C-alpha cells in the first residue's frame, strides 16, 4: 500500500486546477445505462471510484472506453469516457464491486427503468456511518417496482415503472439521483419532494435533459419528471469538483500562502468560503477560480454540516484540520453521518486538542502541530490528514493512500506544483 510523506511548514504559492467532480461524474455515467448507443462524458476525473464504476458497467456488458489526455487549455477536456450501453446482458451489480464503492447502487434506478429488472448487492456498513438505502427502495416501490431482498441482494423488477409522488423522509443525494433516472423512463409524471439540492443533482438533471428526458427542478427540493418511452445516449461534461476545490482552499489556509485555485466553482462553495473567511482567509474570485490568501494563523469558527447549500459534510474533516491551529476554540457539529470524526484520533496524534461528544467536536487551537505517522479509514478523513501535514512541523506519513486515490486526482502532484514538500512512497504500509 502506498503512503504519502509530507514535510510540513512550507507555505503554498502558485496556481492549481481543479479536476472534474467525482460525485457528479458517477451518476452521470450511470445514466448511460438508460439508453442504447454510445454516451460520451468529458472532464471525467481519473480516480479509483470511476475505474470501479467502469468495471461494474463492463461486468454488465457495456463497452467502456477511456480516452485520456492532459488538459492543454481551460476549454479542453482532460479525460473522456465513452460508455456504450446498447447491450446489457447482466443487469446486476455484484457484492465484490459494490463493497468497494457504495455509489454502485446508482445503477439500480436506470437498470430497472430500462430493462425491467436489476439485481444489486446491498452495500452494507461503511466507515462513516450506517448509510442505509431505504429511501432509494421506497421511491422505486412507489414507482411500481417489486422489491425483494434476498441473500444480501436487492432484486427489483417491473414491467414498466409508473410515475408517482415520492416524498423522501430526508434529503438523500444518491437516492434523489436514482429516482430521477428511474422516473425518466417511467410512464407518466413523477414528483420527487424533499429532494437533496446538491449541485451534482443539477448536473445530472442537465445530463438527463440532454438525453431527451423531461425534467424540471433538479437542484431544488421538488423535481418533476415526465417519463418518456426512450432516451438517447448522453454527451455531457462533468462540472469541476467543489469538494476538491474546498480541500485545496483548506490546504492553503492550513499551510499558509497565496494560491489561485482555478476552476473552483464559487457558487457551489458559498458556505465553505464564508467559514474560511470567518477563519481569517481572504478569498476572492479571479478568472475562472478563487484566489485564497491565508491568515498567519486561522481564527476559531463554529460550523455545523448540513445538506446543500449548508456546509458540506465532505469538507468537515479538512476544515477541522485548519482549526486545529486556530486562535481559540471551535465547535464542529456533524449532522449527516454518525461516524464522521475518524480523523480526530489521528489529528490528536499530531498534537491537536480535540474532544468529541456524540456529534460535536470541540477543537481547541494549538500553536503548532507535529508530524506523525497517521492513517484514515475514509476519503475525506485522509484529505484532512494531508491538510494537517502541510501545517505540521516535521514529517507526516499518511498511510492507506488508496482512500485518497478514490476521490482526489493526483493530489500530491497538484500540491507539489504549489511548492509543498510531498511525495508518494510506493508499496509501504
Ligand atoms: N440516508 C438514509 N436512507 C437512505 C439514504 C440516505 O437514511 O436511503 C441517510 C444517510 O445515512 C445519511 C443521510 O441520509 O445520514 C444523507 O446521505 P445521502 O444519501 O445524501 O448520501 P449519499 O448519497 O450516500 C453522497 C455523496 C457522499 C456525501 C453525501 C452527503 C456520492 C456518490 N456520495 O452520498 O460523498 O458525503 O452524499 O453529501 O455522491 C464522499 O465523496 O466522500 C462522500 C461520502
428 has a pLDDT exceeding 60: no
> What is the pLDDT averaged over residues 172-177?
98
> What is the pLDDT averaged over residues 338-350?
95
> What is the pLDDT averaged over residues 378-398?
97
Atom of ligand 1 nearest to the CA of 131: 11
Residues serving a catalytic function are 126
Contact yes or no for 25/45 (Cβ under 8 A): yes
Q: Chain centroid to CA 353: how far?
A: 28
In angstroms, the CA 320 to CA 360 distance is: 12
Q: Which three cell numbers stand for residue 130?
A: 450506517
78 has a pLDDT exceeding 90: no
- Helices (H), ranges, 163-240: 173-184, 199-210
> What is the pLDDT averaged over residues 81-91?
97
Which residues lie across from 225 on neighbouring strands? Answer: 190, 215
pLDDT-above-90 percentage for the chain: 90
> What is the pLDDT averaged over residues 345-356?
98
**334 C-alpha to center of ligand 1: Å?**
13
Q: Which pLDDT value is given to residue 1?
A: 83
Q: Which pLDDT value is given to residue 129?
A: 72
Q: Which pLDDT value is given to residue 28?
A: 98
- The answer to whether the pTM exceeds 0.95 is yes
> What is the pLDDT averaged over residues 287-291?
96
* Mutation choice for ligand 1 from 336, 338, 379, 406, CB with most ligand atoms inside 8 A: 336
Q: Which pLDDT value is given to residue 107?
A: 98
Ligand 1, atom 40: closest residue by C-alpha: 314
Nearest partner of 411 among 237, 263, 247, 242, judged by Cα: 247
**51 C-alpha to center of ligand 1: Å?**
20
Residues 349-382 as b or e (16 or more Cβ within 10 Å = b): ebbbebeeeebebebebeeebebbebbbebbbbb
pLDDT-above-70 percentage for the chain: 97
Ligand 1, atom 24: closest residue by C-alpha: 174
Give the pocket of ligand 1 (CB within 6 Å). 23, 26, 103, 129-136, 170, 172-175, 196, 200, 313-314, 336-337, 379-380, 407
Q: Which pLDDT value is given to residue 324?
A: 98
In angstroms, the CA 255 to CA 421 distance is: 11
* Mutation choice for ligand 1 from 123, 171, 174, 382, CB with most ligand atoms inside 8 A: 174
**214 C-alpha to center of ligand 1: Å?**
25
Q: What is the CB neighbour count within 10 angstroms for residue 206?
A: 17
**171 C-alpha to center of ligand 1: Å?**
9
Please report which confidence band the pLDDT of residue 68 belongs to, taking 50, 70 and 90 as the band edges.
confident
**282 C-alpha to center of ligand 1: Å?**
31
Q: What is the CB neighbour count within 10 angstroms for residue 296?
A: 8
Amino acid at each position: 500500500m502506498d503512503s504519502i510523506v509530507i514535510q510540513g511548514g512550507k507555505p503554498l504559492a502558485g496556481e492549481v486546477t481543479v479536476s472534474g467532480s467525482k460525485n457528479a461524474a458517477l451518476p452521470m455515467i450511470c445514466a448511460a445505462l438508460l439508453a442504447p448507443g454510445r454516451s460520451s462524458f468529458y472532464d471525467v476525473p481519473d480516480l479509483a471510484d470511476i475505474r470501479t464504476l467502469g468495471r461494474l458497467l463492463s461486468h454488465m456488458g457495456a463497452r467502456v472506453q477511456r480516452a485520456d489526455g492532459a488538459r492543454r487549455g481551460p476549454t479542453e477536456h482532460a479525460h473522456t469516457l465513452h460508455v456504450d450501453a446498447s447491450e446489457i446482458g447482466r443487469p446486476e451489480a455484484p457484492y465484490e464491486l459494490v463493497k468497494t464503492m457504495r455509489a454502485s447502487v446508482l445503477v439500480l434506478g436506470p437498470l430497472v427503468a430500462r430493462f425491467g429488472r436489476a439485481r444489486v448487492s446491498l452495500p452494507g456498513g461503511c466507515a462513516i456511518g450506517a448509510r442505509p438505502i431505504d429511501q432509494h427502495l421506497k421511491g422505486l416501490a412507489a414507482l411500481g417496482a417489486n422489491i425483494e431482498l434476498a441473500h444480501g441482494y436487492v432484486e427489483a423488477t417491473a414491467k414498466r415503472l409508473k410515475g408517482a409522488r415520492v416524498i423522501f423522509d430526508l434529503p438523500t443525494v444518491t437516492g434523489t439521483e436514482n429516482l430521477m433516472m428511474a422516473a425518466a423512463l417511467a410512464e407518466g409524471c413523477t414528483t420527487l419532494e424533499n429532494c437533496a439540492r446538491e449541485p451534482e443533482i443539477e448536473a445530472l438533471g442537465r445530463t438527463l435533459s440532454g438525453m431527451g428526458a423531461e425534467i424540471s427542478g433538479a437542484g431544488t427540493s421538488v423535481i418533476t419528471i415526465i417519463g418518456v418511452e426512450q432516451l438517447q445516449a448522453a454527451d455531457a461534461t462533468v462540472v469541476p469538483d467543489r469538494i476538491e476545490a474546498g480541500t485545496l482552499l483548506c490546504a492553503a489556509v492550513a499551510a499558509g500562502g497565496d494560491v489561485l485555485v482555478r476552476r473552483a466553482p464559487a457558487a457551489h462553495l458559498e458556505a465553505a468560503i464564508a467559514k474560511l473567511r470567518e477563519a481569517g482567509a481572504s478569498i476572492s474570485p479571479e478568472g475562472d477560480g478563487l484566489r485564497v490568501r491565508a491568515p498567519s494563523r486561522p481564527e476559531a469558527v463554529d460550523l455545523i454540516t448540513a445538506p446543500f447549500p449548508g456546509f458540506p459534510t465532505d469538507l468537515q474533516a479538512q476544515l477541522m484540520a485548519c482549526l486545529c491551529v486556530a486562535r481559540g476554540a471551535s465547535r464542529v457539529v456533524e449532522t449527516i453521518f454518525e461516524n464522521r470524526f475518524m480523523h480526530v484520533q489521528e489529528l490528536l496524534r499530531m498534537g491537536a486538542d480535540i474532544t468529541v461528544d456524540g456529534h460535536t467536536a470541540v477543537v481547541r487551537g494549538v500553536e503548532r502541530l507535529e508530524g506523525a505517522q497517521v492513517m484514515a479509514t475514509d476519503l475525506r478523513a485522509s484529505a484532512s490528514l494531508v491538510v494537517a501535514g502541510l501545517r505540521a512541523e516535521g514529517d507526516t506519513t499518511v498511510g492507506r493512500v488508496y482512500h485518497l486515490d478514490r476521490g482526489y486526482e493526483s493530489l500530491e502532484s497538484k500540491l507539489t506544483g504549489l511548492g509543498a514538500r510531498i511525495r508518494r512512497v510506493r508499496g509501504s504500509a
